[in-house]
Structure 1
Amino acid sequence: MTDHTTPERATHFIRTIIDEDLASGLHQSIQTRFPPEPNGYLHIGHAKSICLNFGLALDYQGQCNLRFDDTNPAKEDMEYVESIQRDVQWLGFEWSGEVRYSSNYFEQFYQYAMELVDKGLAYVCFLNMEQQREYRGTLTEVGKPSPYRDTPAAENRQLLEKMRNGGFKEGECVLRAKIDMSSPIMCMRDPILYRVRFQHHHQTGDAWCIYPMYDFAHCISDAIEGVTHSLCTLEFQDNRRLYDWILDNITLPNATRPRQYEFSRLNLEYTVMSKRKLHQLVDDKLVSGWDDPRMPTISGLRRRGYTPASLRDFAERIGISKVDSFTEMSILEAAVRDDLNVNAPRSMAVLNPVKVIIENYPEGQVESIHAPVHPQNEAMGKREIFFSREVYIDRDDFREEANKHFKRLVLGKEVRLRNAYIIKAERFENDENGELKTIYCSYDPDTLGKNPADGRKVKGVIHWVEASKAVPAEFHLYDRLFSVPNPGKAEDFEAVLNPDSLVIKKGFVEPGLVDAQAELAYQFEREGYFCRDNQHPGLVFNRTVGLRDTWSENA
C-alpha cells in the first residue's frame, strides 16, 4: 500500500479522510478544486482555502481545478476573474488544465433540472419572494407547501422551457426543488434551483435569461469535473444535505461521486472577511481600493509587502479544523517577519529626519563605506553607503538629557552610527518654534568598522543617512484597519474604523534605493520591514511589519 501521508506537514481531519479513501481503494487519486465566485477580490481567508486545495493536490500527486462559480452575472465582473487568477499564481500555485467556469456547464445544468422535473422532484413556483419567505416557516415552525408544488411534471416541463425562452419576467417565477417543507434544515425546504435574470453574462453573453443557483450548480460542477473531495467552510455545513440530495437524484456524469467536507473559515482579528463589507469599504471610498495595503485582500497584502511564502506559512501555522475561532494578527505578522528576517536585504532610512553636522570632519569630503547587505548572510554581498560632514538621523534618537535606559544620542555622550563612526553630541540648536533643527557633533576617526566589543564602550547604535546623497522618500506606516478585535460584530462597522490606520512620513533613504523594485522587501534598520509601493509612481515605501510584535502590548 502506498503511503500518501506527508510527515513534513501537520496532519488534520481532511488528510485523514483522504488517507483512508486512498487506502480503501475508494479513489485511486484525488481531485480538488478552488471555486471562487468572481464578485470581488480574494482575501486572506481565500488564501487559506487556496493553500489547502492546491496543497493537498500537490502532496497527494492529484489535481486541483480553478473554477469560477459564475452563476450570478449581476454581481460578477471580468476584473475579478483576472485578479483571482493573478492571486492564485502569485501565491505559487498552478491549476490543472484550463480555467473552468460553471457557465461552461449551463446546458448540462438545464438538462439536469429537466431530469428533476420529469421525476416530479422540481416544480415552477409563482409565489413572490415575500410569499416564499412566509411559506418557508421559521427555525421553530415548519413551512407549508406552495400551491404550485403539485403541478404535474409535464406542465412543469413546459413552464421551465418557457422560463428559458424568456417567457416570464424577472421575479415572476422560479424553479424549486421538491424536498421537505417540514425539514429542520432550512435549505431543504424546497430551495430555489433557477431564477429569471435578464443579465448579460461575462462568458455566455445573452444566451441565457435563467441562471442556476449556486447550490445547484456547485455540486453538479464538482461531479462533471471528477472532484473527489469538495472542501468548503463551515457555513456550508447544512448545505451539504442539499449537495447530496441533488447528486443522489440526477444521473451522474461519471463514476466519481464527490463528497463535501467542511472546515473552519479564517476569522482574523481587527479586520472583516465579509465580501459585502469589503465591497462597502471600497464603494464608500473608506480605503483606496481593493488593493489598499490595509485591506485583508491578497492584492492588498501583496502591495503591503507580504510574500507568498509568508502567507503559505501562515496557512500552515493556523491549521485546519472544525472549530470556529479568531486568529490573532500577531500570528500573521510573525509569519512574514520570520520570512523577511532571513531574506530581506538591509538598508537604512530616516523617517523623521534631523540634520547632524560633524564639525571635525573635513568639509567637502564624501567617504565611501561598504556595509553588509545582510549581517547573517555573507553571500548577499556588500552595499555602498556614504559618510560626510552632514548626515540625517531620526529626531527621536536624540535627547538633551536622558536616563540610563536611553541608548541613543544624548548631549555630551557618544553613540555609534551603524557601520560607521562613533560620534559625540556637543551642542544643538532649535528653530524659531522651539523645534530641534540641528545637532552638532564630533567624531572619532579611529572607530570606523571597529567592533563595539573592542573595548570602546558606547551605549548604542543608531541608523543614519548621509545628507548630500540621501534620496527623499515617503513612508506609509500602516496599522490595524479597525480599532476593535471583532469589527464584524459592531452595529456599524464603519464607526469602528481606526483613524490612525495610515500615517505618512517624509524622510530619506540610502541612494542605493532610488530604483528599488516594487514589492521587494527591505529591512530598514531599527524601523521595520518596508517595500516599495507597486502603484505609486514616486518613491513610496509601505511598512509591512515592525521588527517585533507590538499587538499584545497595544491591544
Structure 2
Amino acid sequence: MESPAPRHFLRTIIEEDLREGRVDEVVTRFPPEPNGYLHLGHAKAISVNFGLAEEFGGRCHLRFDDTNPEKESQEYIDAICEDVRWLGYAWAGEVRFASSYFDQLYAWAEHLVREGKAYVCDLDADRAREFRGTLTEPGRNSPYRERGPAENLDLLERMRAGEFDEGSKVLRAKIDMAHPNMNLRDPILYRIRKRSHHQTGDRWCIYPTYDFAHGQEDAIEGVTHSICTLEFEDHRPLYDWFIDNLPVASRPRQYEFARLNTSYTVTSKRKLKQLVDGGHVDGWDDPRMPTIAGMRRRGFTPAAIRRFCEMVGTSRATGVADVAMLEHAIRDDLNAHAPRAFCVLNPLRLVLTNYPDGESETLTVAKHPSREELGSRELTFGRELVIEADDFRESANKKYKRLVLGKRVRLRGAYVIEATDLEKDSAGRVTTVYAQLVRGTLGEDPADGVKAKGVIQWLHAATARPATVRRYDRLFTDPSPDRDEDFLQYLNPESLVVMDGALVEPAVAAAAPEARFQFERLGYFVADRCSHNPAAPVFNETIGLRDSWSGGEGQGA
C-alpha cells in the first residue's frame, strides 16, 4: 500500500480553490523553452505540475515557450517530449506552442499601443541599459516614450514587415521607469529577430519576449494554477500588469516554489552546454550529466526520480538536496526490481582439478532473492571458471572473506571450493588458481561440517561473454561546483573508467538495451540504450551497492 502524498502548500491552495468553487477543474502546465535538454530540476517541475493535475483529476498542458528562434530547435522539442513520457506523464491534448498564439499576442501588442500603454523605442541595447537605472537608482524615461499611438502603430507594423535592422527598435510597455521592481521599468514586448522559426518558418521577423507571452499563454489556455520556481516571483507583478491591461478571457494565478538544487551538480543550461561543447562529457545524454536523458542512460528509473522529487518536498524554502538522497531512491528501487546476474570485471582463471575435464552441468539460480515471480536463470558450470581477480589472495587476515590459498569459499549458487595451488607469470602476477570442489555442497545451504568464509561470483570460462563495462563516479569532486564561475576546475578526472575486458552471463549479454541488473557484489548496471547489442554488449554502472545516505548497504548482494 502506497503512503499518502506528503502535504505541501500547493496542495493546500488547490484543495481550497476547489472547495470554495474558485475553479471547477485544475489546469496546470509545464512550459519549457526548447533551447536545451531537461535536467533534474525540470524533473521536479514536471512532477509538481503533472503530479498535481493527476492527483486532482485535472489537466496538465505541455507547452513550449518558443519565443526565441535563435536558440531553439526541433531536437530539443523531441527530446523534451520523450523525457516527459519516459517519466510516466501524459499531457492533455496536443503539444502546445507559444508560436501558435503569435497572431493573438501581436493583436494584444497593438491594443496596448492604441491605449497609449506601449511604444516603439529606438535606444540601442547599451543606451537602454543606461536609462534603465540600477537597484538603488531609478531609471530615466526613453526620449521616444512620448510617441503617439498612431506613430507607434505605424512603426510597429514596419517592424513586422522587416523594414528595420535587428537591434534598431523594440516595442516596450509604458509602465514606470522609477519602479523598484526592475521588471516593470518599461520592459520589452517585441524585438526584431530576422531568424527562421522552427514552427512558423519565415512568417515573422519580430518575436515577443518570454515575459510578454508567458502569462497570456496561460490565460488563453485557461490555466488555473500557473506554478513556477521562485526566480519568477519578481516577474509576477509584470504578468499581472499585462493581464490587467489586456482583454483576456481568464486570469491565471501564479504560485512559486523553490527550485531543486542538488549537491555535486550544475544545472545551468549555459554550463551544461559548456560541458558538452568543451568535450568534457560525451553529449547531452552522457550518463554523468544531470539531464533526464543522461540519467535515463545511466539506468536511473522514472519511479526513483519521482520518489526523490517527493522526498525533497515542495516548499518556498531554498536549499540544496544531498545527491545521496537521489542515490538512495535509485538504489532502493533497483534493489526491489532489478534481477541479479554475474559479471567479472577483471577475470582470473580458476581450474577445479577434481572436476571431470570436458564435462559441464547446468545450474538453476534465482533471478531475485525475494521475488519468485521473476523466475530463475540457468548457468553453465564446469572445470574451468573465471572469478574476480580481487577475490583471491595467496594469504590474508581473518577479515578477508574471499578465496585464500588453503581456505574455502562458496561460489554463489554453486559449490564450496578450496584453493590448493596457483600459477604466476614472469612479473609475479597470479594467472591461474587451482582449487578442489567440495562434494555435496551444491546450493546455498552448507553441508554438515563444511564451512566457507564468504561467497563470490563466477562464470563458466567457455560460455562467458565479453562485454564493455563503464564505471561512473560523480562528475564533480566538490559538493558546490557552482560556487565559482570556473566550475570546470572541480571536474572529477575519474568520473568515467571504461573496462573492456569484463565478462558476463550469456543471457545478460543478449539482454535488450535499457535492461537493468544487479551485478552481484558490484552494483547496479544497465545495458546502454545507445550502443549495447548482443554482439558487443555495453553496460553502464548505475550506482554501487553501498548506501551512504541512509548508512546501510544495498540488499541482495
TM-score normalised by length of structure 2 = 0.96
How many corresponding residue pairs? 546
Task: Decide whether the 8 Å contact of 1:370 with 1:383 is kept in 2.
Answer: yes
Match of 2:521 among 510, 526, 545: 526
Match of 1:338 in 2: 332
Q: State the Cα distance separating 1:453 from its structure 2 match.
A: 8.2
Deviation per CA, 1:253-311: give whole Å up to 9, x if none.
x2x31011111111111111001111111111211111100011111111111111111
C-alpha separation in 2, matches of 1:282 and 1:551: 30
C-alpha separation in 1, matches of 2:351 and 2:449: 26
Match of 1:547 in 2: 545
C-alpha separation in 2, matches of 1:452 and 1:488: 53
Match of 1:77 in 2: 73
Match of 1:516 in 2: 511
Deviation per CA, 1:166-203: give whole Å up to 9, x if none.
11100001111111111111111111111000000000
C-alpha separation in 2, matches of 1:395 and 1:407: 14
Q: State the Cα distance separating 1:417 from its structure 2 match.
A: 0.4
Task: Decide whether the 8 Å contact of 2:441 with 2:447 is kept in 1.
Answer: no
1:457 equivalent in alignment to 2:454 = no
Match of 1:364 in 2: 358
Match of 1:481 in 2: 475
Task: Decide whether the 8 Å contact of 2:328 with 2:549 is kept in 1.
Answer: no
C-alpha separation in 2, matches of 1:437 and 1:39: 53
Match of 1:22 in 2: 18
- Other structure's SS at 1:208 match: coil
C-alpha separation in 1, matches of 2:296 and 2:447: 40
Unaligned runs of 5+ in 1: 1-5
Map of 1:81-480 to 2, 5 A cutoff?
Answer: 81-252=77-248, 254=249, 256-452=250-446, 455-480=449-474
Map of 1:52-71 to 2, 5 A cutoff?
Answer: 52-71=48-67
CA RMSD, Structure 1 to Structure 2 (Å) = 1.4
Q: State the Cα distance separating 1:456 from its structure 2 match.
A: 2.6
Task: Decide whether the 8 Å contact of 1:304 with 1:519 is kept in 2.
Answer: no
Q: State the Cα distance separating 1:455 from its structure 2 match.
A: 4.9
Indicate the percent of aligned positions where both proteins have the same amino acid. 57
C-alpha separation in 1, matches of 2:446 and 2:480: 46
C-alpha separation in 1, matches of 2:175 and 2:392: 75
Inter-CA distance 24–453: structure 2 relative to 1 (3 Å threshold)? farther
Inter-CA distance 450–246: structure 2 relative to 1 (3 Å threshold)? closer
C-alpha separation in 2, matches of 1:457 and 1:546: 28
Between stretches 448-457 and 192-201, larger displacement belongs to 448-457
Q: State the Cα distance separating 1:7 from its structure 2 match.
A: 7.9
Match of 2:554 in 1: none
Q: State the Cα distance separating 1:551 from its structure 2 match.
A: 7.0
Between stretches 222-231 and 491-500, larger displacement belongs to 491-500
TM-score normalised by length of structure 1 = 0.96
1:536 equivalent in alignment to 2:549 = no
The one-letter code of the counterpart of 2:509 is V
Task: Decide whether the 8 Å contact of 1:195 with 1:212 is kept in 2.
Answer: yes
Inter-CA distance 335–453: structure 2 relative to 1 (3 Å threshold)? farther
The one-letter code of the counterpart of 2:163 is G
Match of 1:3 in 2: none
C-alpha separation in 1, matches of 2:364 and 2:302: 31
Deviation per CA, 1:310-353: give whole Å up to 9, x if none.
11111111110111111111111111111111111111000111
Deviation per CA, 1:448-507: give whole Å up to 9, x if none.
014148653221111111111000011100110111111111231122111100011121
C-alpha separation in 2, matches of 1:319 and 1:340: 22
Between stretches 92-101 and 486-495, larger displacement belongs to 486-495
C-alpha separation in 1, matches of 2:323 and 2:159: 49
The one-letter code of the counterpart of 1:197 is R
Task: Decide whether the 8 Å contact of 1:490 with 1:496 is kept in 2.
Answer: no
C-alpha separation in 2, matches of 1:450 and 1:340: 23
Task: Decide whether the 8 Å contact of 2:384 with 2:461 is kept in 1.
Answer: yes
The one-letter code of the counterpart of 2:225 is H
Task: Decide whether the 8 Å contact of 1:145 with 1:181 is kept in 2.
Answer: yes
C-alpha separation in 2, matches of 1:371 and 1:338: 23
Task: Decide whether the 8 Å contact of 2:412 with 2:444 is kept in 1.
Answer: no
Q: State the Cα distance separating 1:402 from its structure 2 match.
A: 1.4
Deviation per CA, 1:95-117: give whole Å up to 9, x if none.
10111000000010001111111
- Return structure 1 stretches of 4+ with deviation > 4 angstroms: 550-553
- Other structure's SS at 2:37 match: coil
- Other structure's SS at 1:326 match: coil
Unaligned runs of 5+ in 2: 552-557
Task: Decide whether the 8 Å contact of 1:367 with 1:388 is kept in 2.
Answer: yes
- Other structure's SS at 1:162 match: helix
Task: Decide whether the 8 Å contact of 1:306 with 1:544 is kept in 2.
Answer: yes
Task: Decide whether the 8 Å contact of 1:370 with 1:382 is kept in 2.
Answer: yes
- Other structure's SS at 1:237 match: helix
C-alpha separation in 1, matches of 2:498 and 2:515: 20
The one-letter code of the counterpart of 2:23 is H
C-alpha separation in 1, matches of 2:287 and 2:484: 22
Q: State the Cα distance separating 1:550 from its structure 2 match.
A: 4.4
- Other structure's SS at 1:73 match: coil
Deviation per CA, 1:96-144: give whole Å up to 9, x if none.
0111000000010001111111111111111110011111111111111
Q: State the Cα distance separating 1:429 from its structure 2 match.
A: 2.0
C-alpha separation in 2, matches of 1:269 and 1:367: 49
The one-letter code of the counterpart of 1:16 is T
